[in-house]
Amino acid sequence: MRLSDIMAHAGLSTYAEVALVIFLVAFLLIAVSVFAPSRKQEFDAASRMPLDDVHPQSPRGDAS
């Protein structure tokens, strides 16, 4: 029996649908966490990062 026979019986096309759902869920979790209000301060600091070539915006010990 060849590998392809085994795989043919495994019904892989449904796996793709399962993976799709998993990806969607993972993505939603991330989306929710990104929009958590508690992170405003952190994001504000981060968004200023490109504008300052000299001073780190989130240096050591910064507990934002």
Partner 1 sequence: MNPQLESFRYDDAIVRKFLWATFLWGLIGMTVGLLIALQLAMPALNFDIAWLSFGRLRPLHTNAVIFAFAGNAFFTGAYYSSQRLLKARMFSDLLSRVHFWGWQLIIVLAAVTLPLGFTQAKEYAELEWPIDILIAVVWVIFAVNFFGTIAKRRERHLYVALWFYIASIVTVAILHIFNNLSVPAGPLKSYSIYAGVQDAFMQWWYGHNAVAFFLTTPFLGLMYYFLPKAADKPIFSYRLSILHFWTIVFLYIWAGPHHLHYTALPEWASTLGMVFSVMLWMPSWGGMINGLLTLRGAWKKVVEDPILKFFVVAITAYGMSTFEGPMLSVRSVNALAHYTDWIIAHVHTGALGWNGFLAFGMIYWLAPRLFQTRLHSMKMAELHFWLATFGIILYVTAIYSAGLTQGLMWRAYDVTGRLEYPAFIETVMRLMPMYWVRVAGGALYLTGMVLFGYNLLKTWQTRPATYEEPVIQAAPLGDYEELAAPRPAGALARFAQAAWHRTWERLPVTFTVMVAVAVIVASLFEIIPTFLIKSNVPTIASVKPYTPLELAGRDIYIREGCFNCHSQMIRPLRYETDRYGEYSKPGEFVYDHPFLWGSRRIGPDLAREGGKYPDLWHVRHMEAPRDIEAKSIMPAYPWMLTNALDFDGIQSRVDAMVMLGVPYGPAVNDAPAMARQQARAIAQSIAAQGGPADLSDKEIVAMVAYLQRLGRDLGAQPAATTVGGQ
| DSSP assignment string, the chain | --HHHHHHHTTHHHHHHHHHHHHHHHHHHHHHHHT-GGGHHHHHHHHTGGG-SSS-SS-TT---
Site string for partner 1, 32-61 (x = CB under 8 A): -xxxx-xx--xxxxxxxxxx-xxxxxxxxx
Q: Which of 1, 16, 21, 41 binds partner 1 (CB under 8 A)?
A: 16
- Using rule CB under 8 A, residue 13 touches partner 1: yes
The residues binding partner 1 (CB under 8 A) are 3-5, 7-8, 12-13, 15-16, 19-20, 23, 26-27, 30-31, 33-36, 38-39, 42-51, 53-63
